[in-house]
Structure 1
Amino acid sequence: MNRINIDDVDLNLFKVFEALAEEGGASRAAIRLNMTQSAVSAALRRLREVFSDALFVRTGRGLAPTSRAKELKPIVSEALDRCRQSLAIASPEATSFHGRSISVGMSDDFEIALGRQLIETVARMAPGVRLIYRQTHSQIVSDALANQEMDLAVFAGAFAGRGLRHQLIGEGSYACLIDATQHKKRRTLSVDEFTSRAHVLVSSGGVVGIVDEVLAAIGKRRTVIASTTHFASLPHLLKGTKAVATIPEHAAVAISRMTGLALLPCPIDLPKYPVAMGWRSNAMRDAAIVRVHAAIVGCFEASVLRLLGGDER
């Protein structure tokens, strides 16, 4: 096989590769890059020649990456990130970031509670940045960051990984949600009332949650009638029933405000948990990521202050 010289390769091809990998289709990549679809298709043909691989194969839902493309994606994205960082050095006080996309990993409880606020904050602090929310959780976040699947990540807990950094940005607690029409207008549930109700569990595993662990320690159990991996489905699962869901308080507050579900304190003593943000060590050389990082920290600080203020009133 002949060795390919970088002088013979149009480096713009790598932008097309990244767009195809992230958008999953030539037409969507063309829109993102402000190119014609035929130009993107031509670039893909050249990429296939360069790497001697199909790279992307057509499926019923667009283009899916081959094993070689999956291997190349973090390498290409890291190289492009370095190029973006070099441009940031040339213009460290950039006031506009049009055309930039920053991917933020978070589970949908954080997205429900802070997603809109973060969009508005980023629009002020980093005009032109497009946020891409990606689902993640603490068990997969380090690999997702290392593999360039996201630029920043918000998650419960902490992690360690080579080339990765994280900082604590908050502390989480839990609250209960029920259908107010199925409740006697009291502002609390006793432990016995809590355990006698059917429960809807939000869990990636779908079997045992922190509530079960704490109840077991005091010799009690609950009955879980359904589990889901998404907090957004809770209003549909709880409305018209006497079931209860125990979830992170930030999500419970947001869902209660939006849906009218009753927000109640949890009658058992559940442990608080740390909330952290993670990123690749070299990411802070990118001015756009720095701005979004600061926006996330600011949103968490504002959220904590707002909740405290509401309690005092």
Structure 2
Amino acid sequence: MRSLDLRLLAVFDAILREKSVTVAGESLGLSQPVMSQSLSRLRDYFGDQLFVRTSEGMMPTPRALSLASSVGEVLGIVSQRFEPPQAFDPCTSSRTFSFFATDFAAAILVPSLMARFRPHSPNLRVRALPMRPKGMDEALESGEVDLAFGNLSEFGTGFYQTGIYHSDYVCLARGDHPEIRRALTVQQYLSASHALISPLPPGYDGLEKFLRDMLDPARIVLCLPNFFTVLTFLPQSDMLVTMPRRAGTTAARIIGAQVLELPVKIPGFDVKLFWHERFHKDLANQWFRNQVREAFNDR
């Protein structure tokens, strides 16, 4: 059986509806010659005139009338299956959005996100996941996780990225530190005891290498598993902690620590947002990306 171009069925349906080849062409955005050629192909395929010119317009033959319901059904199925995606409605959606981030990045972002979601999107859920040494790219590609953000470089082809902000580092000392107040000298920094987050999450390990190269090994007294543990030990310690600025200022606000500018030069870094190309046009993913960008801008 010869194949039939689905576009010809749209021509059939339009002529049946409008009773005019010209008007049908206008409704489809097709010229008169294209419509005439399409009608000729339809007649050839079905072996029938299908539409005959009368005083009341192009009227269907009995064969055309017998085809009408089937043509409408086929066009309906095609329209339903291939129509443009409906806009994502956060007000009614119960979707769970997920992202990879460091513990402190999640602590900074989540309150802003939830404040945005709750008034108008009460059914949305958020899942924050820790950075992984391996497998983040596969999770983003499969759709298991929507986004990743941080100082990341391991994502290769097939991923989109956009910059969120540039960060440098600051040093934290407890608020009533006996020797350090408001400012920090190079000598104080190099001679002080330091706590180090180790191992740092993917993308941040350059800080650990820099500090280990710069400081006397005896000055690194404590290694912590994550940024969050700074909150529990620093108020009772005279040690210093070097942290990304946003994480540091957030921690200092919670525990009343001093935020000190570094007296040594440590290169900063760019925090970026990453997603897989499979979901670049996904309306829900687009909406979530915008929410993350705006939440960080609120900080």
TM-score range for the pair, normalised by the shorter chain length: 0.5 to 0.7
Equivalent residue pairs, number: 216
Equivalent AA in structure 1 for residue 207 of structure 2: I
Question: SS state of the match for residue 267, structure 2?
Answer: coil
Question: SS state of the match for residue 225, structure 1?
Answer: strand
**Aligned mates of 1:175, 1:272 — CA distance in 2:** 10
Deviations 1:163-209 (A, max 9, x none): 32111221111111111122456211111111211111113269x86
Superposition map of 1:1-313 within 5 A: 89-92=84-87, 94-123=89-118, 128-136=123-131, 141-184=136-179, 186-204=181-199, 210=207, 213=210, 216=213, 223-303=219-299
Partner of 1:35: none
Greater Cα radius of gyration, structure 1 or 2: 2
Q: Which runs of no fewer than 5 residues in structure 2 stay unpaired?
A: 1-80
Q: Which runs of no fewer than 5 residues in structure 1 stay unpaired?
A: 1-85, 304-313
Deviations 1:67-116 (A, max 9, x none): xxxxxxxxxxxxxxxxxxx8994421525243200111111121122221
Equivalent AA in structure 2 for residue 120 of structure 1: A
Superposition deviation, residue 133 in structure 1 = 0.4
Superposition deviation, residue 279 in structure 1 = 0.7
Indicate the RMSD between aligned Cα atoms, in angstroms. 2.9
Deviations 1:34-68 (A, max 9, x none): xxxxxxxxxxxxxxxxxxxxxxxxxxxxxxxxxxx
**Aligned mates of 1:87, 1:291 — CA distance in 2:** 22
**Aligned mates of 1:128, 1:268 — CA distance in 2:** 47
Equivalent AA in structure 1 for residue 289 of structure 2: H
TM-score (norm 1): 0.61
TM-score (norm 2): 0.63
Equivalent AA in structure 2 for residue 131 of structure 1: V
**Aligned mates of 1:271, 1:178 — CA distance in 2:** 21
**Aligned mates of 2:269, 2:134 — CA distance in 1:** 15
Question: SS state of the match for residue 285, structure 1?
Answer: coil
Equivalent AA in structure 1 for residue 110 of structure 2: G
Question: SS state of the match for residue 182, structure 1?
Answer: coil
**Aligned mates of 1:161, 1:142 — CA distance in 2:** 9
After superposition, the Cα gap between the structure-2 partners of 1:242 and 1:212, relative to the gap in structure 1 and judged at 3 Å, is farther
